[in-house]
Structure 1
Amino acid sequence: MLVTFQSKAAAEITMYKEHARRILELMNKDVERGVITPSELPDAIRLLEAAVSDSKMHPVSDEVTRDVKAHHNDETDDNEHEQPEPVTFATRAFPVLEMLHAAHKMQRDVLWGV
């Protein structure tokens, strides 16, 4: 399933629900439907920036590395494909963080699931 973030301050952002869930749980918001009001934006920005900063201090988990290597090694059929690069939390959160900053600047809501 997908989640689409909307605000009159920025273009829509659509992402997989499981990726949006991590962002929204930081702010104690429901992934199905919700709003971040202008008064909530400073705290939401602070929380998301802290999580992004924290995620940059931790390397990709060994589990992800093992999974990538299991599917892209000499004994599998995938060894001729370019090895995928994991997408970090910081990369996934960046567009939402930009939307939050724009909404804060223009004092607009950020909505999803509507």
Structure 2
Amino acid sequence: MLYKFKSKAAGDLIMTAPVGDRMMALVGRAPAAQGIFLVAQMPAAIAALEQGIADEEHARREAEAEAAAEGRTLPPPKDVSLRQRAWPLIEMLKRAHEADKDVVWGV
């Protein structure tokens, strides 16, 4: 499954199922083939995504500090960061919110 987010305020955004499912989990939604972010829901969704990014980065800094205290170096992350994955959706939600347009997917 692919997530194809659409809004009249921004270009389409496509995410693979694992990435889209993670975004849905961060904003407190179950993965779904169809859905909508209403304008009123967007500030909370943006805040949740930004909090997820902050949490991931904080955990990485703590792990690096712990490794440094033990004289080790952490290997670089294997995956693309949440910041990189979530940024397009956050930007879409911000633009849609400013334009007072909903964001839909699967329709």
> Which category describes the TM-score, using the shorter chain as reference length?
0.7 to 0.9
Q: Distance in 1 between matches of 2:27 and 2:82?
A: 15
Q: Matched residue pairs, number?
A: 92
The residue type paired with residue 20 of structure 2 is A
Higher-helix-fraction structure: 2
Q: Deviations over 1:56-95 (max 9, x none)?
A: 2223x9xxxxxxx9xxxxxxxxxxxxxx962111110000
Aligned partners of 1:28, 1:85: CA distance in 2, in Å?
Answer: 25
Which residue identity does 1:102 align to in structure 2?
A: R
Identity, in percent, stands at 35
> Structure 1 residue 111 and structure 2 residue 95: aligned?
no
Could you list the runs of 5+ residues in structure 1 that have no partner in the other structure?
Answer: 62-68, 70-83
Which stretches of structure 1, 4 residues or more, deviate above 4 A after TM superposition?
none
Give the residue type in structure 1 aligned to 2:14.
T
* Counterpart for residue 13 of structure 1: 13
Cα distance in 1, alignment partners of residues 57 and 13 from structure 2: 22
Q: Does residue 28 of the first structure (1) align with residue 21 of the second (2)?
A: no
Q: CA RMSD in A?
A: 2.0
TM-score normalized by the length of structure 1: 0.72
Residue identity matched to 2:90: L
**Closer/same/farther in 2, CA of residues 26 and 85 from structure 1, 3 Å limit:** closer
Q: What are the ranges of 5 or more consecutive residues in structure 2 without an aligned counterpart?
A: 64-74
Shift, 1:30, TM fit:
3.8
Q: TM-score, normalised by structure 2?
A: 0.77
Deviations 1:32-59 (A, max 9, x none): 1100001111111111111111112223
